[in-house]
Structure formats: C-alpha cells, structure tokens
C-alpha cells in the first residue's frame, strides 16, 4: 500500500522543521499535500499525518 505524498526534503531537514517550526511546517504540508501527508523522520520512522477532523474521528 502506497503512503500519501509528503515533502521530499532530506530526513534531517524534515526533523529540524518538525522540531523547531512544528505548526508552520504542518500548515505548509497541509496546503501543499492536502489533509493527509507523510513525514519521514530519523531511524526509519514514518508518520502519516491527518488534519481533517472527520478522518481523525474515524481513526480513533
């Protein structure tokens, strides 16, 4: 199963943005990729982010 699209930035850059400018980074990704996008972090960790409240309710 393919993951949703996300930034093609190097993992180190995504990690810095995730840690230092979390809200701005998430909002930028949401504008570019939509309500669901993938982030890649160190140690092979992959996060699929959801910003649509209805989708979040369905997940939980």
In a domain, 2, yes or no: no
pLDDT of res. 48: 96
Q: Which pLDDT band holds residue 25 (cuts at 50, 70, 90)?
A: very high
- Picking from 16, 33, 2, 41, the residue whose alpha carbon sits closest to that of residue 50 is 33
Structure tokens at 52: 């649509």
pLDDT of res. 36: 96
Name the more confident of 35 and 59. Answer: 35
In a domain, 49, yes or no: yes
In a domain, 43, yes or no: yes
pLDDT of res. 28: 97
pLDDT of res. 1: 82
User: Which residues are within 8 A (CB) of 17 and not within 5 positions of it... i.e. 6 or more apart?
Assistant: 9, 24, 25
Q: Look at residue 59 and tell me whether its pLDDT is greater than 90.
A: no
At residue 38, the 3 state secondary structure works out as strand
In a domain, 5, yes or no: no
pLDDT of res. 60: 87
Task: Give the domain extent around 38.
Answer: 11-59
């Amino acid at each position: 199963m393919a993951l949703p699209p996300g930034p093609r930035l190097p993992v180190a850059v995504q990690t810095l943005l995730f840690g230092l400018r979390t809200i701005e980074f998430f909002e930028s990704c949401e504008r570019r990729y939509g309500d669901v996008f993938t982030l890649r972090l160190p140690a092979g960790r992959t996060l699929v982010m959801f910003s649509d409240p209805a989708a979040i309710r369905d997940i939980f």
